[in-house]
Amino acid sequence: MIEYIKGTLSRKGPTHAIIDVNGIGYRVFIPMSTFERLPDTGNKVQLLTYHHVREDIEQLYGFFSSGERAIFRLFISVSGVGPRIAIAALSTMTPAELVQHITLREPPMLQRINGVGRKTAERLVVELVDRMSELDLAGTDTAGVATARADACTALETLGLSRHKAELLLRRVMRAHPEVDKAEDFVQLALSL
């Protein structure tokens, strides 16, 4: 298995990046969360990888964090869920949000992922809810972060924001400030956006 790829970022787009490693350009498929953290082209970059091999295709998937890769691996272990849906999940929500929705058994929230219907969302929850403890999201307390985020969402709704708007703001906070783990900090940063 290829653990990571390190080289010069030759090209980047929302769905893939081309990384030049000693004159060989590797196409690496990425989620939007990784795309948003990539440096400008021409700069050095290192991505954690997952090498997906089937009878008819070989693809390399890249991730900025171990949490993203861990979620990807768990998602593709679910029957009927492939890399396309796993990448869509990470492009729609942060790893902590995905953990929260699965842990709290919220299939309707997972249906916001492109390609995930009611049955797939329910299957994701059923098959993954007991496996959330396997995750290593860069040493973060995912349960604590998920609880803080849920409390912040409730506080923002109390302040008059719709649930959709509150979740949108909190998602932006989590992407810009992955270190935040307290509800009051989530609220303060969300209100400053």
Q: What is the pLDDT of residue 140?
A: 44
The region of weakest confidence among 35-49, 112-126, 156-170 is 156-170
Percent of the chain at pLDDT exceeding 70 = 93
Fold of the domain built from segment(s) 142-192:
Helicase, Ruva Protein; domain 3 (1.10.8)
pLDDT, tens digit, for every residue of 84-120? 999 999 999 888 889 888 988 889 999 999 999 999 9
Burial 56-83 (b: 16+ CB within 10 A, else e): eeeebbbbbbebbbbbbebbbebeebeb
Residue 4 bridge partners (DSSP): 48
Residue type, 88: A
Q: Is the pLDDT of residue 78 over 70?
A: yes
Q: Name the CATH superfamily, with its identifier, for domain 4-63.
A: Nucleic acid-binding proteins (2.40.50.140)
The CATH number of domain 66-134, selected from 3.40.50.720, 3.30.70.20, 1.10.150.20, 1.10.10.10: 1.10.150.20
Q: Where are the domains of the chain?
A: 4-63, 66-134, 142-192
Mean pLDDT in residue range 133-158: 69
